[in-house]
Structure 1
């Protein structure tokens, strides 16, 4: 067989790595040192039987000398070189053999560039063909044009009759409300968990939450174990969620959950007392189950949301911090104290929910270690006329899309009011 350009190089490098002299290897293979020297410098043809003897003397398979340890890297680099001009194709095998680390780096960078290119193409395709996005943009542009047209008539017509002025003002009011609703719907859609997971641009937490939503938040043991998740971090988080769910089921058995729901409804403290279980386990058991009409948010001491299970009508932020008026954060500052409030979301048709929150401190390292806090907020639909005389607490999702300009807790201007 004809020798490949790098077989001799691989042979020489393997011999040097084992600390063998040319004479020692030549003696084991039954050839002269001068002949071996010519082979190692790729100046002699290497018969198959001699290749087998040399490979055996070095403790290798003959295929390892023929293909080298970087066969997959060679293929990856050839694919990368095919997309451009300039690389020396004849030197790829020798480059991989001599510099496997650099070869792996180049192959990895090429794979990353290819992946980012596909992401950009998918995003561009979404912006072009997504019917919901297209309809939302059309609604915003249509309402904007209507407001501008009506405002121009009012501004430019000095002798407008009062009856017609009232009509135009009424139309202007209606169109401005339509514009606000359309803009809020568009921003909510763009902020909601959607196609980003499929495009590969979601964070591991978003990936896990999308996976949980596809399972209808069923954390029952025996179902798939999230091997299909794209990133190792997401698979780790999903495994931790499944393990936590199994621990919660042991702490709060199904019988205790059913009995508590029948007796007191979705009351985490009552459920925890009935099952003699941690309060946060009761929160998770009430919300993380199929067909549960309840939302759940959990945060750590920094206020970062570590779990977001949405409830219809109550938007949870993907980007930026959440509304600081949520009872969740009030509970964070009052450990082991129940916090409950009827909350109201903004909009032309405000919706009300009952929020129940609890913060649990932990000291995993004892007296000398830091105190860790974890808070949870259960979000329940509030039936009409079920709240008492106390007015509801106005809250939002995040300042970016909350239209309440007069809110005392506002951190930044809302894009809906600019």
Structure 2
């Protein structure tokens, strides 16, 4: 399996360029040489204070060490390998491909994204052909008109001795229905033409909304500055349909409410003071815990802010919000790993759950999950719950036991997993 981001390799490279011994560098930043060795071999995730200390000693910007582009390319190459089960690829050499041939790696991932976009477009069009009410109505008009014309023509053929008056009526009916058929066919063709031009790669409104979030790092500057959620929903290029705009408006209103209750500067300062503890932050700002979890995930990326991911699901387990942290890819479709605390939270609504989890490449995260009502509670109907899970990257040295998790069963190579629901396409570890 690919390792986590190549931050460790870059640290080793800059250390050797400066002629520093591993033990000397470890001593200067206050960690053990064995732990630094694990970092340099990409076997331990790094961030926060340790990353800042290393960058200071090495005399380089923290972003130079922690840039996330390579992790994204590795994840996309893994996704590309999983999508083609008939071709065997050297999964254990993906890191080397990215490091030695970044141009080719970028080319492969770009082609894979294009193929996936086309597949999603075809899937979306197929779904439209099946469920589109406009198309169903037009098809019904065409079929009913064809049936009417056929019935009228059959009467004319089967009854040659019809009087002149009746023949004129039937011919008039055929003419009227033929014109109706032409209009319905043209209308249906125009509707299909509109659908065929939507080559966005986003098959559903939800994908369009989170394409907009992903493009901005889940930090919406316009709403941080008090912008209008409705205006933003109509301005972003990723949100290209009425359905997507309606859905985006819901998420943007929630974002605006969170930003208003927890202003960015005050919240970021409090997050550092309280060590990014969502429960403490919820108490500080008098907001529900799920709001503090969302707000932490909306912080802008920075050297002093840990790598934070967020995922949420509905009561059926289908993923809604997806913000992937480095080292743990989140699937685009269906459900995620059954071992995620996200799903455990659904079994205990209202009870906060905190677990240490470990991805397949050794990246560790503190996962904090909560199931909460998705709307107001009412006496006349059962509550509907959503679950939310914050993922905060860890770079501590303790060998605390962690729950081994994956992305989804399809691209998880862990062997002997009791939660597996389908075979993997990868080599079992």
TM bucket normalised to smaller: 0.5 to 0.7
Q: Distance in 2 between matches of 1:216 and 1:281?
A: 18
Q: Structure 2: 5+ residue runs without aligned partners?
A: 1-174
Query: Does residue 368 of structure 1 match 2:380?
Result: yes
Backbone CA RMSD of aligned residues: 2.8
Q: Distance in 2 between matches of 1:211 and 1:362?
A: 22
Tell me the number of residue pairs that the alignment of Structure 1 and Structure 2 aligns.
Answer: 241
Query: Does residue 336 of structure 1 match 2:350?
Result: yes
Q: Which structure would you say has the larger RCO, counting Cα contacts within 8 Å and 6 or more residues apart?
A: 2
Secondary structure, counterpart of 1:313 in structure 2: coil
Structure 2 counterpart of 1:106: 186
**1:215 Cα deviation (Å)?**
2.5
| CA-to-aligned-CA distance 1:355-382 (integer Å, 9 cap, x gap) | 1111223673522311121211111111
Secondary structure, counterpart of 1:233 in structure 2: helix
Query: Does residue 380 of structure 1 match 2:392?
Result: yes
Structure 2 counterpart of 1:38: none
User: Which of the residues 254, 268, 274 maps onto 2:278?
Assistant: 268
Q: Distance in 2 between matches of 1:417 and 1:337?
A: 37
Q: Distance in 1 between matches of 2:240 and 2:176?
A: 31
Q: Distance in 2 between matches of 1:334 and 1:199?
A: 39
CA contact (8 A) 2:268 2:299 kept: no
**Equivalent residues in 2 for 1:207-356, closer than 5 Å:** 207-219=208-220, 220=223, 221-222=226-227, 225-227=232-234, 228=237, 229-254=239-264, 256-291=266-301, 293-346=307-360, 349-356=361-368
Q: Distance in 1 between matches of 2:179 and 2:190?
A: 20
Larger radius of gyration: 1
CA contact (8 A) 2:319 2:333 kept: no
Structure 1 counterpart of 2:409: 399
| CA-to-aligned-CA distance 1:20-78 (integer Å, 9 cap, x gap) | xxxxxxxxxxxxxxxxxxxxxxxxxxxxxxxxxxxxxxxxxxxxxxxxxxxxxxxxxxx
Q: Distance in 2 between matches of 1:392 and 1:259?
A: 29
Change (3 A) 1:251 1:104: farther
TM-score (structure 1 length as normaliser): 0.52
Greater Cα offset, 292-301 or 277-286? 292-301
Runs of 4+ in 1 over 6 A off after TM superposition: 94-97
**1:259 Cα deviation (Å)?**
3.7
**1:199 Cα deviation (Å)?**
3.2
**1:113 Cα deviation (Å)?**
5.2
**1:338 Cα deviation (Å)?**
1.8
Change (3 A) 1:226 1:108: farther
Q: Distance in 1 between matches of 2:374 and 2:216?
A: 31
Q: Distance in 2 between matches of 1:238 and 1:106?
A: 33
CA contact (8 A) 2:355 2:366 kept: yes
Q: Distance in 2 between matches of 1:332 and 1:109?
A: 45
Q: Distance in 1 between matches of 2:401 and 2:286?
A: 34
Change (3 A) 1:384 1:222: same
| CA-to-aligned-CA distance 1:225-256 (integer Å, 9 cap, x gap) | 13232222111111111111111123323354
Greater Cα offset, 238-247 or 222-231? 222-231
Q: Distance in 1 between matches of 2:288 and 2:325?
A: 24
**1:97 Cα deviation (Å)?**
11
CA contact (8 A) 1:361 1:374 kept: yes
Secondary structure, counterpart of 2:422 in structure 1: coil
CA contact (8 A) 1:405 1:413 kept: no
Secondary structure, counterpart of 2:316 in structure 1: coil
Q: Distance in 2 between matches of 1:105 and 1:297?
A: 44
Structure 2 counterpart of 1:15: none
Change (3 A) 1:376 1:114: closer
TM-score (structure 2 length as normaliser): 0.51
Q: Distance in 2 between matches of 1:296 and 1:239?
A: 19
